[in-house]
Structure 1
């Protein structure tokens, strides 16, 4: 008797622990490593916990423009997000072309601030590149058209060269616990 609502408890607990969705726009790759003869066929994989998402493959381009949105469900903002670039090979295992990790803690803190009435384009905070992050240049969290957005240019590790530009945007989910 007590167990009557057992069927959907999995979904409820997920919504209760879900803070919302993080939309990661994978904008472009810059000067990515060459893994085929003269070029590479790069795509990006984003991982957070058990979630794994990937962009489409762009053929023969070490400066690819993906402009593709990948959406992660965020339950714990302390888990770093890992981004890996791969070179797509038709007949063999795809080669890694470097990886980077980034944190969303600062971004989540900025989302919690009361920013109503801020002018469009206001910079909320900046993170400078350091040994503790993968930033290739200063990353800004700013207020844009009523939303808090963060731009990042990640320098890929474990590879000779390459950077990936991304942008973070938060999506509030009705029914989730929110921030």
Structure 2
């Protein structure tokens, strides 16, 4: 695992008000891409508000590389239709993780940093990086672009590898 700094757990919780791509609904799934790695959720049939609750894992080599998110409508007889795209900027999370690795006596649920939505990110709302059950996690609602509507709720958690540095 040369050059690997850690594993990123991507908990894809649900989609909210995703675009209709079939007659009255869609069969959505989410694809996460980091560098050359690609992983995806299961397909949820006939639901524009899917609850995936899937955990995807990506290997992080470059802490500055964004995670590309794409949501598709699964089609049986033609190419899958795009339902929007987003990106996750992991730099604020990794910086918080790097500075907070030796936290002691921190209360569960403590907010370590808040990331504001803006034109340079895909956040729909403020995203909090929190201390939860002895780990640092970040919950976020991503607004999908290149589509008329839709958001996805995701949580990220980094699992550092022993002896690896978390430099941003």
More helix by share: 1
Q: Distance in 1 between matches of 2:99 and 2:62?
A: 18
Moved over 3 A (4+): none
The residue number in structure 2 matching 1:152 is: 140
Partner SS for 2:2? helix
Q: Distance in 1 between matches of 2:97 and 2:164?
A: 14
TM-score (norm 1): 0.89
Say if 2:67 is the partner of 1:81. Answer: yes
How many residues get paired? 164
- Flag structure 1 segments of 5+ consecutive residues without an equivalent: 1-14
Q: Distance in 1 between matches of 2:159 and 2:117?
A: 26
The residue number in structure 2 matching 1:161 is: 149
TM-score (norm 2): 0.95
Q: Distance in 2 between matches of 1:133 and 1:177?
A: 28
Q: Distance in 1 between matches of 2:3 and 2:70?
A: 27
Note the 1:31-50 alignment, pairs <5 A.
31-50=17-36
- Flag structure 2 segments of 5+ consecutive residues without an equivalent: none
Q: Distance in 2 between matches of 1:178 and 1:21?
A: 13
